[in-house]
Amino acid sequence: MDGTFTKQPGEAFNITIDFSDRLATGETITSETVTATKVSDGTTVTSTVITSASVSEADGIVTVPVKAGTDGQDYRIKCVVVTDGTPAATHEGDVLMRVREQ
C-alpha cells in the first residue's frame, strides 16, 4: 500500500500516486488505468469514487480525482501504469481511501 488518506463523503479533490522513483532515467509513463474497490466486499466502485476522465500523469506522478464514498467505508484505489522502457515495464500503486463523516 502506497498510502492512506481520509476524506468526508461530500469532499472531492485530487490525490497523487508517485511512480517517479520506479522509473529509469528518461523513462515515462505511456498509459495508466485506475480502479477502485470497496474493501469490505471487493465490489468495483470506480465510477462512484473516481472521476476517471480527469486522470492525468506528469513526471512519473499520476493525479487521480476522488469524490463521494459512503461514510464508514474504506476503498482501495489501484493505479497500474505502463512505461516506454525497453522492455516496457508495468508498475502498480495502491492507496487506501477511508471515508469518515466528521
In terms of residue numbers, what domain contains 28?
Answer: 4-99
Q: What is the pLDDT of residue 58?
A: 74
Residue with the three cell numbers 468495483:
44
Q: What confidence tens digit (pLDDT) does each residue in 33-65 have? A: 999 999 999 999 999 999 865 667 778 999 999
Task: Give the pLDDT confidence score for residue 9 in this predicted structure.
Answer: 97
Q: What pLDDT does 37 receive? A: 98
pLDDT tens, 67-94? Answer: 999 999 999 999 999 999 888 899 999 9
pTM above 0.85, yes or no: yes
Residue 10 DSSP code: T
CATH code of 80's domain: 2.60.40
**Domains: count for the chain:** 1
